[in-house]
Structure 1
Amino acid sequence: MMEPMLANSHVLLTPITPDIARRIIDRTEQPGDDWHPDYPFVDELDPLAALAASELSETPFTMYAIRRPDDRAAVGGFGFFGPPDASGAVEFGYGLIPAARGCGLASAAVMLALHHAGQWGALRAKADTERTNAASRRVLE
């Protein structure tokens, strides 16, 4: 069964269900959602729409809201592109709103999510980024 939240001292990751994905897209925030006004960012809308159109699943290989631990605001997203493939590799993507960048949240989120994926059978991870995106390249390194 999927954990309700992944957490360490630097970041919180909360699973996004199809219902939550629909609320994010429609901007129908409910108490406890705590979405930053700039969340979601444009790159996240297509994956959120795909999740919103899917059935509820207990897989840990889903999308997560990246939240700051101090105010619990959702400031970004982390998502797996499915379970590990036949070689044990899991592919992922992530992003933060501009106001949340540069303070280690992306690195903390990636490390936390990949540790969790390893507990569910992932042996390797892969992701890509633009060559010109030096900050994202540092996260992946």
Structure 2
Amino acid sequence: MEPLRTRRLVLLPLDADRARRLAAGPSGPPGPSDRWAEGYPEAGDRAGAERYLRVLADTGDPAPYGAFEIQRRSDGLMIGGAGFHGPADGAGRVTVGYGLVPAVRGQGYAAEALRALLEHARAQGAVTVSGDTDRANTASQHVMAAAGMHPVGEDARLLYYAVSWTR
């Protein structure tokens, strides 16, 4: 997969080596291009890298619906992760997730990254992208709304969002 570029960010596709370093976290050996912001990778980033490695082992490269590291263009630091939870299903639906280190939250980076993922999914033929967030996570709710996703349901713990297009 090619990197996804926005005005302030580059979403760099994960590969097996990067995913292994992320899964090991800051205590593992860094790679030559690892420039991690303070607090990166977080537990969610490590879990996403482990999920990516399981997908690679079980079904192969998930491209074009893989995982990405979020790099801030201004200083080259990795500030979070974003990506798809797997390939599109038979109806063209994919699920997305994202996360940023605390120091950069509230600056519009998450919505910018999510918009890039939505555009990428649509260009790859997806017709629906969905995501969810804890009821108490109003920041994530604002991110999904700012990126163009709409509330589509809820349960006792989560709120569900989606955006759909026609083919």
TM-score (norm 1): 0.90
- Pick the aligned partner of 1:18 from 11, 16, 19: 16
Gaps of 5+ in 1: none
Report matched runs for 1:1-141 at 5 Å: 2-3=1-2, 5-26=3-24, 27-53=28-54, 54-55=56-57, 57=61, 59-141=63-145
RMSD: 1.5
After the TM superposition, list the runs of 4 or more consecutive aligned residues in structure 1 that deviate by more than 6 angstroms: none
Does the Cα contact within 8 Å between 1:29 and 1:35 map onto a contact in 2?
no
SS at 1:78's partner residue?
strand
Cα shift at 1:58: 6.4
Aligned mates of 1:119, 1:33 — CA distance in 2: 29
| C-alpha deviation, 1:86, in angstroms | 1.8
**How far apart, in 2, do the equivalents of 1:24 and 1:47 lie?**
9
Q: Between Structure 1 and Structure 2, how many residues are aligned?
A: 139
8 Å contact 2:81–2:99 — kept in the other structure?
Answer: yes
1:60 & 1:35 partners in 2: Cα distance? 25
Highest relative contact order (Cα 8 Å, sep 6+), 1 or 2? Answer: 1
Partner of 2:153: none
Q: Check whether the contact 1:10–1:68 (CA below 8 A) recurs between aligned residues.
A: yes
Q: Percent identity?
A: 36
TM-score with structure 2 setting the length: 0.77
Can you give the 5+ residue segments of structure 2 that lack an aligned partner in the other structure?
Answer: 146-167
